Amino acid sequence: MNILKETNFTNIGKRKVGKVRDIYIQGDKIILISTDRHSSFDRIIAHIPYKGQVLNQISAFWFEKTKDIVQNHVIEVPDPNVLVAKKCKPLPIEVIVRGYITGTTNTSLWTLYQNGERDFGGFILPDGMKKNQKLDEPVLTPTTKSDEHDRPVTPKEIVREALVSKEIWDEVADKAIKVFKRGQEIALEAGLILVDTKYEFGIDENGKVTLIDEIHTPDSSRYWQAGTYQARIDQGLDPEYFDKEFLRLWFKDNCKPYEDKVLPEAPEEMVQELSRRYIQIFEQITKQKFIKSDNIDILERITNNLRTYIIK
């Protein structure tokens, strides 16, 4: 199977390894290589064929579709798994945009709402809402960015703690809502509901707000199938969604993923099914046929496509 587990280039910049991407840093640009690593429980639990290509190409699709709203960091996409971006100074906040009241975690909008919370700092929700209901307007629930633990912050706290200036926050908030609404429009045309997402912004060399990292991928966003949404809600069911949780649940059932030094191998049929789902959501979002490049080694292909970025 043609899988990209890691890269170890020594001639395209200093390497920084993230959960899914290997990042190579040059003077004024960064090279982001999306691998097939699948992360959960703060570790790699599997390698999913074509996942890196799907994430990279979906991001490239959305960056192109939203560049008239806010500039982004893309310089070029020289390879299906690679995005070359201009270096920006990341802002110390993540901007989470929500179009529906949903979720099951302790910090989810629905959980907090069920526990009686109505005032969320940047917005107030009315009584009587139901799970998975569409909000009248998308809302922002920003958090700090930390290697240990992200902390929810309100717009007032962002400015008061000088995380960013009021001027920059106002621009980020405005762009985030506009990009999200564009995403919802395009997703709906593809039969999908963009439920919520996470954005990261930076400041470029000219001091301009810039959309960075990734955008509207199935790893950073929640999607529901639009065609069955209302019928399922009427039946008291959860919406039909892109599900990768089944692999995570298998590990929880078969080991102690936070404690065991060595994890069992993920079942091959589950790996293949998750790969199929990533490809399916790529094709539905982009309305393009996913092209598998199985006739050439991925590392060899990336090496060839990054020749112009070699540092001599």
CB 244 within 8 Å of CB 268: no
Q: What is the largest CA-CA distance in the chain?
A: 63
**Does residue 223 lie in a domain region?**
yes
CB atoms within 10 A of CB 156: 12
pLDDT score at 147: 66
**Does residue 67 lie in a domain region?**
no
> What single DSSP character describes residue 31?
E
CB 308 within 8 Å of CB 214: no
Which residues, 6 or more positions from 69, have their beta carbon under 8 angstroms from its beta carbon?
175, 178, 179, 182
What's the CA gap between 103 and 239, in Å, rounded?
12
pLDDT score at 235: 96
**Does residue 215 lie in a domain region?**
yes
Pairing status of strand 21-25 against strand 14-17: antiparallel
The amino acid sitting at 132 is: N
> How far apart, in Å, do the first and last CA atoms of the chain sit?
33
**Does residue 45 lie in a domain region?**
no
Report the CATH number at residue 133. 3.30.470.20
Residue 187 structure tokens:
């997703």
**Stated pTM of the model:** 0.95
Residue 195 structure tokens:
């439920």
Pairing status of strand 133-140 against strand 89-101: antiparallel
Query: The domain containing residue 165 runs over which residues?
Result: 89-234
The strand order across the sheet containing 29-34 reads 14-17, 21-25, 29-34, 82-86, 74-79
One digit per residue, the tens of pLDDT, for the chain of length 312 reads: 689 999 999 999 999 999 999 999 999 999 999 999 999 998 999 999 999 999 999 999 999 999 999 999 999 999 999 999 999 999 999 999 999 999 988 889 999 999 999 999 999 999 999 999 999 999 999 999 876 678 999 999 999 999 999 999 999 999 999 999 999 999 999 999 999 999 999 999 999 999 999 999 999 999 999 999 999 999 999 999 999 999 999 999 999 999 999 999 999 999 999 999 999 999 999 999 999 988 889 999 999 999 999 998
**Does residue 52 lie in a domain region?**
no
What's the CA gap between 114 and 171, in Å, rounded?
31
Which residues, 6 or more positions from 66, have their beta carbon under 8 angstroms from its beta carbon?
72, 179, 182, 183, 211, 215
**Does residue 247 lie in a domain region?**
no
Look-up of token digits 């966003």? 221
pLDDT score at 233: 96
pLDDT score at 146: 75
pLDDT score at 107: 85
**Does residue 33 lie in a domain region?**
no
- Domain count along the chain: 1
Pairing status of strand 21-25 against strand 29-34: antiparallel
**Does residue 177 lie in a domain region?**
yes
Burial zone of 66 (CB within 10 Å; 0-12 exposed, 13-18 middle, 19+ buried): buried
Residue 42 structure tokens:
């703060």
Which uninterrupted H or E stretch holds 257? none
